[in-house]
Amino acid sequence: MSKTIRPTTLRLRLLAALTALALLGGCATLSEDNGFGSVQGAAQAQLGKDLKWVRTDAERAAVAVEVKDMLAKELTADTAVQVALLNNPGLQATYGELGIAEAALVQAGRLRNPGFSFARLARGDVVEIERRFLFDLLGLLTLPARTEIEARRFEQTRLKVTAEVLRVAADTRRAYYSSVAAQEAVRYMEDVKLAAEAGAELAQRMARAGNWSRLDQAREQVFYAEVAAAHARVRQAAVAERERLARLLGLQSGAGLRLPARLPELPAAPRELPDVEAAAVAQRLDVEMAKKDVEGLAKSLGLTRATRFVNVLEAGYLRNSETGEPRQTGYEIELNIPIFDFGSAKVARAEGLYLQAVNRLAETAVAARSQVREAYHGYRTAFELARHYRDEIVPLRKRISEENLLRYNGMLIGVFELLADARSQMAGVNASIEALRDFWIAESELELAMTAGGGRGTGMTAALPAAEAGGGH
């Protein structure tokens, strides 16, 4: 015996089903850390450093104490990176992108609120009441696709934030090595300036006594003037590098930084990376972001094709009553009729964006391979140059200086030849410092090229004037 379902029961079941779907659509919630834990894990794996997203006064105070303890000691490159990751305000602002992207993801997983309308119309003694309940049926049908698209966008944001963390770490290492090298260059330039000043004063005395020509005196004087100018440039470069490091560390001033007197020693051998290109393409974040972009647009294209004709689709339950008349019940579906816009332009735009994303992915992969090859070649070249200065040029300069000192003690050369040789040796030492600095910066560039991409070139400090300007006497 068949069972007849009464209209009232059917309406109640329909309303219950729509209510359940609405509740399911609104159950998506924000996470406690907005996905920051995955960025922390990536930083720990790539850098071996801790990250903290400072969002409360208590957290800010704890980070300030931790940073103060690290800065109380002599700063190392690893400590500088850790301070920057904890205290850099720009990086803290970047973490906010995670919350924004997750909010968009949660919003995409929620249905639009249902609508209810009530109307009361009177015509003489006749009163008509209309009740309408509207539900976003199209939003329900496209909910999984929209959620998946926003999930990919959130993943892209996570990769973007991770890449920014790696860039700040690389920038901090570059600034640290440049600052230490600039400080060391100032010290050696001061020695060169003292030697040039002594030579200029001695030349002036000998010219007054008639034992030195005006041409030779002018050569010594101009060399001293050039050294004084170079000394000022090097000191300014040291201040600029220190302040750049302070900005990355999130400090108000770089005056209190305790930097070591010398750069770290050159390692025994360079890193061997036979599959550097494959490793870069597999782990570079910009390549991964380009892949996510292609996947997201592909999904978006499919969604566009499915809804090209259905721009507005709403289902509604109607219930009308009129005085003295039977109650009216039923349902209503509203949609736009594609008379003027068939959606072809929207589909063509989506297809164009997808093809553009595919080509950009290919471009990103090509650029990644090229950049990592360039960075690895620069790293190996910088190592060879630094080792060449350490093992060949500096020892030879030292040997020449020792031989000239013996010749001076035997009265075979004069004091000006000895001063000229001292200036040459100091110039060689300064070039050796620059070569060692360039190696450590090249290593940071290589790390960045293999993970996040977008490396930067290194800057050179002011060059010493030619030592031969005061020699040859």
Distance CA 227, CA 286 (A): 46
Ranking 28-37, 288-297, 355-364, 430-439 by mean pLDDT, the lowest is 28-37
Ordered by where they begin, the domains of the chain are: 1-26+114-141+310-342 (3.30.1300), 31-110+142-308+343-470 (1.20.1600.10)
The closest alpha carbon to 312, from 135, 58, 97, 55, belongs to 135
Strand order in the sheet with 328-335: 115-123, 126-135, 313-322, 328-335
Q: Which residue type, as a one-letter code, is found at position 77?
A: A
Q: What mean pLDDT do residues 173-184 have?
A: 94
Q: What is the pLDDT of residues 214-249, one digit of tens each?
A: 887 787 788 888 888 888 999 999 999 999 999 999
Examine the pLDDT at 437 and tell me if it is beyond 90: yes
Reading phi first (left if > 0) and then psi (alpha if -120 to 50, else beta), residue 124 is in left
Q: Taking all residues of the chain, what is their mean pLDDT, rounded to a whole number? A: 77
Q: What mean pLDDT do residues 319-338 have?
A: 58
Angle between helices 276-283 and 344-388 (to 10 degrees): 140
CB 289 within 8 A of CB 156: yes
Examine the pLDDT at 467 and tell me if it is beyond 50: no
Give the pair of three-digit tokens for residue 349. Answer: 């735009």
Q: What mean pLDDT do residues 455-461 have?
A: 46
The closest alpha carbon to 141, from 314, 344, 341, 342, belongs to 314
In order of 162, 186, 236, 430, 455, the CA distances from 240 in angstroms are 28, 13, 6, 18, 20
Q: Within 13 Å and on the Cβ side, how many CA atoms surround 298?
A: 8
Considering the entire predicted model, what is its pTM?
Answer: 0.75
* pLDDT in the model for residue 321: 59
Give the pair of three-digit tokens for residue 190. Answer: 């001061």
Examine the pLDDT at 337 and tell me if it is beyond 70: no
Q: Which residue type, as a one-letter code, is found at position 343?
A: G
Distance CA 246, CA 226 (A): 30
Give Dmax over CA atoms of the chain in angstroms.
136
Examine the pLDDT at 379 and tell me if it is beyond 80: yes
Distance CA 23, CA 211 (A): 102
CB 164 within 8 A of CB 362: no
* pLDDT in the model for residue 440: 95
Number of Cβ within 10 Å of residue 144's Cβ equals: 11
Examine the pLDDT at 458 and tell me if it is beyond 50: no
Q: What is the pLDDT of residues 253-284, one digit of tens each?
A: 877 889 999 999 999 999 888 888 888 888 88
